Amino acid sequence: MQTIIVFQQNGSGKSKIEGINKYGEKRFILKTHDIDEPLPDIIDDTSPYIPEHIDADIVLDFMKHSDLSEDLALLCHKLNIPVVGSGKKIRSGEPICPPT
């Protein structure tokens, strides 16, 4: 079974998580990484919010803060894990960023 990790802020991936659970027919192990606290405009050190290691087959990025998305994309690139950030303009790593 493939493992999907959804990174989200304040429930921003809720509908996608519900869709995966409903239509994925238990084909995936679904984990979430939630950030629910207020964040500053600029985050110089994202380590309190993003883990050092990710164990997944794919990462879905529904975070709203661009600093977090950039560093997540770099980490996923380093770990050779595809990351999808729909509608984002991420310049780091090799994220898949389809338009919404």
Among the listed ranges 28-32, 38-42, 83-87, 91-95, which one has the minimum average pLDDT value?
Answer: 91-95
Residue 24, domain member (yes or no): yes
* CATH number of the domain within which 46 lies: 3.40.50
pLDDT tens digit sequence for 6-64? 999 999 999 999 999 999 988 999 999 999 999 999 999 999 999 999 999 999 999 99
Residue 97, domain member (yes or no): no
Residue 99, domain member (yes or no): no
In order, the DSSP letters of 22-79 are HHSTT-EEEEEEEE-S---S--S--TTTS-S----SEEEEE-S-HHHHHHHHHHHHHH
pTM: 0.88
Residue type, 79: L
Judged on CB neighbours under 10 Å (0-12, 13-18, 19+), 36 is exposed
User: Residue 94: is its pLDDT beyond 70?
Assistant: no
User: Residue 82: is its pLDDT beyond 90?
Assistant: yes
Residue 98, domain member (yes or no): no
Number of compact structural domains in the chain: 1
CA-to-CA distance for 69 and 91, rounded, in angstroms?
10
SS (H, E, C) 76-91: HHHHCCCEECCCCCCC
Among the listed ranges 18-22, 71-75, 96-100, which one has the minimum average pLDDT value?
Answer: 96-100
Residue 89, domain member (yes or no): no
| Domain coverage including residue 8 | 2-84
Confidence of residue 85 (pLDDT cuts 50, 70, 90): confident
